[in-house]
A and B are shown apart, each in its own frame.
Chain A
Amino acid sequence: MTNVLVVAEHVEGRIRKSTLNVLAAGQEVARRVGGQVRVAVLGRGAALAAHELAAYGEGVLLADAPGLEHYLAEAYAPVVARLAKEAGAAWVAGAATAFGKDLLPRVAALLDAACATDVLAFGGEGAAVTFRRPMWAGNVVAEVELATATRCFTVRPTEFPAAEKRAGGAVTPVEATVDVAALRTRFLSFREVKSERPELTEARVVVAGGRGTKGDFKVIEQLADALGGAVGASRAAVDSGWAPNDWQVGQTGKIVAPELYVAAGISGAMQHVAGMKSAKVIVAINKDPEAPIFQVADYGLVADLFQAIPALARMAQGGK
């Protein structure tokens, strides 16, 4: 009973990138505890995703049954819990995405397991494996041990490499039944927020605006587009209705780690910094030389963003 079950996440038949990060994390735990990795793929018509995952060399368990069309924690958790038992898994892993954060604690409850969320790194060997995870908006990193026979965890995708392709994987379909009539949760609709830009959490460049934009995100979007990047926002900008919810970066928004993060008109509250401090290069553009954002920025510019951002966009496009 030392195997690791990794719960995969897929959208329209394709594996989400973050699943490959959890897979790498799961492989690391398997090495530390001397077990094997199994991957659980759930969903109606998820065979394509399961086969895509098998290319990464692990055994993939495919549960495809009525009742699993739309993800619902209530329907998915018992299936994952059962697969964990059948796979001899003492460790169950997911990504710290909306899906994983919703699902894994419910799975843990069904397995009498404790759960570590938003894991950044592991320590120790065997049953004494520890999890490093952020607390207090990332101001503190705690090392935690889970004192239960089965342990669940979610990992922060930006902290782990993507698993690599290897031979040896195979897909095994497994029986799964969901008592659809007994479900107390019903999926009603999903409104996709479509964008031509790269996904915020996967973009190479993120240009983010805050209250300093005074509601005008045009310049922010223009620079993002000039650099082929995604647009981010502070909570202040999102709460004011200037930017859609899923642009929010921070403790309670998206965690990003791009090569370049440009924060314009953002003061640098710790809850915002918690979501972007792993960026390789941080640029801050702010009128106030005392703004805390300058303490985390590699390059700071004390300037009016409405002048500086368009100028930077022009230079980046070669119109120097």
Chain B
Amino acid sequence: MAIKLLVTCKRVEDPESKISVKPDGTGIVTEGVNYKMNPFDEIAVEEAIRLKERHGGEVVVVTIGTEKAVNELRAALAMGADRGVHVSHAGPLDPVVVSAILAKVAEQEKPDLVLLGKQSIDDDQNQAGQYLAARLGVGQATFVSKEASLESEAEQKKVPGVVLSEDGRTVTVVREIDGGVETLGLRLPAVVTVDLRLNKPRFASLPNIMKAKKKEVREVPAASLGVDLTPRVLVKGYAEPPKRKGGVTLPDVAALYEKLHVEAKVL
């Protein structure tokens, strides 16, 4: 029961990089900042590859951005995705535009399941998947995770957390929500956004990095898709939040207790 998967990968600032705002507040300082695939998207790519390894099928990865974003497609192809779609676009993007573009790509590719990260770690929007599901008129499951820990045997064996039914028509997923863990069934096609605990993404081997260079990447200009590319989320300015000041270092537990009890009055 093969499954066709469409997975998004966005190019973002490396979460290890130091982020600071330009003095004029028009954006962030990009000098010295490294870029990589959104960490949540790496998890989505890993999950898609596991599903394909188990059931057969195809993993198509898509990115929207400048030529540089092709690096992230190559990274996904090196992990094991089959081919890439680069929607070329240079201007600002927001979830309204991103989801409209992805809906067009989904119409062309007709995947059984679209996998996205739950959020981009640059804009921290947490919206694209929900918008996309509404646009496609399909079910959505956000923040998908799994109950077994990342140290479990199932994880060692790379068992997918997203479970495809025998007849290949539905998936069962586990979501991390407030107060507990929810299990949903989704009729395919469907949209799933992934959370951190779904899996540990694999590293690409050197031979696979070489092979990835030969895999197909189709370029599609965003302007050719017939969607309104005008951003609707307009950023007026960027600022750094008020910083917390480091306080005092105390010599021992008794001094700490004293401070909490007498000065801060929280104990």
Contact = CB atoms under 8 A, between A and B. Distances in A.
Q: Residue among B28, B183, B260 with the most chain A CB within 10 A?
A: B260
Contacts of A289: 249
B233 A146 contact: yes
B266 A140 contact: no
A26 B152 CA distance: 44
Given A114-B94, A192-B179, A312-B257, A271 B15 contact: yes
Contact of B142 (A102, A130, A283): A102
Name the residue in A183, A185, A294 with the highest tally of chain B Cβ atoms < 10 Å from its Cβ. A185
Contacts of B152: 241
A33 interface: no
B241 to A, nearest CB: 5
Interface residues of B, number: 81
Given A136-B124, A141-B240, A245-B145, A280 B266 contact: yes
Interface residues of A, number: 87
A295 B124 contact: no
Given A136-B13, A139-B19, A184-B190, A277 B134 contact: no
B181 interface: yes
A299 B130 contact: no
A283 B19 contact: no
Contact of A105 (B127, B182, B246): B127
A205 B266 contact: yes
A308 to B, nearest CB: 5
24 contacts: A73-B133, A73-B142, A77-B134, A106-B140, A110-B134, A114-B94, A117-B125, A134-B124, A135-B238, A136-B13, A136-B19, A136-B124, A140-B21, A142-B235, A185-B141, A185-B184, A192-B180, A193-B181, A227-B267, A246-B179, A260-B266, A294-B246, A316-B267, A320-B257
Interface of B: 13, 15, 19-21, 28, 94-96, 99, 118-119, 121-127, 130-131, 133-135, 138-143, 145, 149-152, 172, 175-187, 190, 195-197, 230-241, 244, 246-250, 252-254, 256-257, 259-260, 264, 266-267
